[in-house]
A and B are shown apart, each in its own frame.
Chain A
C-alpha cells in the first residue's frame, strides 16, 4: 500500500510511516478513493504512536516492579493457619545459617547429542578423571580422544519472594488426608458447599488443591470477608462432616532468585563421541571402559549415552542423607 504514494523521504533510515510523510504524500488518482486511503493511513499512524507510548509506559512499569522495595515485615497481621512442629534435638552448629529447608529438588538437564553421562559410585573416581580435560577411550582397534567435563548444575542459592493478601481467594484448611475421595471429587464437594449463599458462600471462580488444604476463589469480595469472619465450618465431604477453617489467602511471586553452579561430584560428561559403533554397542563399550580402574575408571552406577541426532533429559536430585 505504501508504494501507491510517493513518500518524500529525507532520511532513509527513519521510519517512513509518520504524520508528516503521510500528509505530504502526493496522491495520484481519483480524489475520493485516495482520501479514504489517506484517512486509513493516518489512523495507522495514530495507532503506531499510541503503541509506542504504551510500550514505553509498560517498560517503565516493569522497571519499577523490578526495583520495588518493600520493607520486610516479621509478623503477619492477619490470621494464618497453624502448622504443628516439633523439636527433635537439632540445634544450630557454629556459623551455619539454616533459613530454609529444601525438599523434592528435581533438575532436568538436557544432554547434547554424541555425549555420555557417566555416574560413578565413588566421587574420587570422577574427580581423578576430571584432572585432565581430555580422556582416552581404548577400543579394540583404535583410541578415541574425547573431551571430558564436570557436571555443574545451576541451583538456586537464595530466593526473594514477594507475598500479598489476595482479596479474591481464601484458604480452606483441615481437609482429610485419607483418600476416600479423589482430588476432583473433593474439590467438587467444596465448591458445592461454599457455592451456596445459604452457607455464607457465593459463586466460586477458581479452585486449587494444596497438601491438606484448598484455595477457592470467589466472584464477590463480600463473600470472602464473610467466610473469613465466620472461619469455622462443618462441611460434608463424603461420609462424614469435617470441620474446616477458612483463612485469608496469601499469594506470592518470586522477585529475585540467585542461581549458583553446583557440581555433581559423582558424574562426568563425555562429549563429542564419534559415531563408530551402533548405539547399544557403543554404550556397552563405554561402560566396560569406564569400569576399568586401569583406565582411570571405577564402579559405574549409571551410564547414559546419547547417540548422534538424539536427545535426552537427565534427571538429578538431592543425595538422600
Chain B
C-alpha cells in the first residue's frame, strides 16, 4: 500500500506540473478531412492485445494558406533563384493589353503550422460512460452499472469489469466479448436503471491516443512570389493571369520558367500551399 501511495504522489505532482503549463502553451484545434477508405490486406499477428482494439494512425499537417486580396497575384517559378531575383528587383512594369501596371514583388507571408503523427486505439471491449448521477453510494452504483450494461435488450452484453468513480461521475465498462461496445455506441446514450428511476447516461468510445514526432514550423516559400498592385481593369482574371505569365516567362523581364499564376481581381481567394519537393515530409530551410 505504501508503494501505491508513493506512485499516487508522483502522478499528482506530474498532473500539477502539467496544469501549470498554460502560460507557455497553445492549443490547436483542427478539422480532419474525410477521404475514401479502402481495404489493403489482412494479417494475423501473434500478439493477443492487438485484437481488442481498432488501431488508427496517421500524419496530420496544418494546411498553410494565404488569402489573396483583391489586386494581388501569386506566381510560382520553376527556379528558386529566378523567384528570389524577381523579389529583389521589387518593381515590375507589366503590360495588360493597352494598359501598363506597376506591380510590386514580395515574398509570401505565411503563418506557422503543426505537423504530427497521431496514434490511437479504440477499444472493442470497453466504453466510457459519463454523467452518472450521484443517487447511490459507490459500491451500489457500480453494481447497477454492471446490471444495466449487461441487458441484451438494450444492446448490452456480459460485463467483465466496471471501473467507477463517484467523484468524476464517470465509468469505464469492460465487456467480455468484442462487439458489444460497437452495439452500444450506435447511440450516444444508454439507459441506466436504479431502483427508483432510469437515467440516460452518455456513452462514448474508450480511446487511448498519443502524439509522436510533433513539429512546429513556419512556412516560407522560395519559389512562389506575391505580386501586388493589380488594378481592376475590364479584363477577366484568366487573361490577366495570361499576361502576367507571358511577362514573367521572359528572361529579359527578369523572369524565367513559370509554373503557376493565380490572381484575385473581383474578390479575395484562398491559396493553399504545399510542401515543396515533398517526399511525405517537410524540407527544412538551412
Residues on A lying within 8 angstroms of B by beta carbon are 13, 44, 47-48, 50-51, 54-65, 68, 70-76, 80-92, 97-112, 117, 119, 151, 153-165, 171, 173-174, 177, 208, 210-213, 243, 245, 250-257, 259, 262, 264-267, 301-302, 304, 310-319, 321
Residue picked from B30, B52, B207, most chain A C-beta under 10 Å: B30
Residues on B lying within 8 angstroms of A by beta carbon are 1-2, 4-5, 8-9, 11-12, 15-16, 18-19, 21-22, 24-45, 50-66, 74, 76, 108, 110-114, 116-118, 120, 122, 124, 139, 165, 167-168, 178-179, 205, 207, 209-211, 213-224, 259-260, 262, 269-277, 279-286
Residues of B within 8 A of A317 (CB): 37-38, 40
Known pairs A83-B275, A301-B39 / 19 extra A-B pairs, C-beta < 8 Å? A54-B5, A54-B12, A56-B167, A61-B15, A84-B285, A85-B64, A86-B76, A87-B66, A89-B76, A91-B272, A92-B269, A102-B61, A153-B54, A158-B32, A174-B284, A243-B286, A313-B51, A314-B42, A315-B39
Residues of A within 8 A of B221 (CB): 84-87
- Of chain A, the residue at the smallest CB distance from B260 is A89
Question: Considering the complex of A and B, which 10 residue pairs feature the smallest CB-CB distances, nearest first?
Answer: A164-B25, A211-B281, A83-B282, A92-B270, A319-B36, A61-B15, A85-B273, A54-B8, A86-B276, A83-B217
Residues of B within 8 A of A264 (CB): 37-39
Query: Contact check: which of B15, B24, B50, B269 meets A58 at CB < 8 Å?
Result: B15
**Contact A72:B283 (CB < 8 A) given known A81-B217, A313-B50:** no
On whether the beta carbons of B25 and A162 are closer than 8 Å, the reply is yes
**Contact A211:B76 (CB < 8 A) given known A51-B8, A61-B12, A155-B37:** no
Query: Contact check: which of B26, B39, B76 meets A267 at CB < 8 Å?
Result: B39
On whether the beta carbons of A63 and B50 are closer than 8 Å, the reply is no
Residues of B within 8 A of A56 (CB): 167
Query: Contact check: which of B16, B38, B59 meets A61 at CB < 8 Å?
Result: B16
Task: Give the distance in Å from the alpha carbon of A107 to the alpha carbon of B10 in the complex.
Answer: 35
Residues of A within 8 A of B26 (CB): 70, 72-73, 76, 163-164
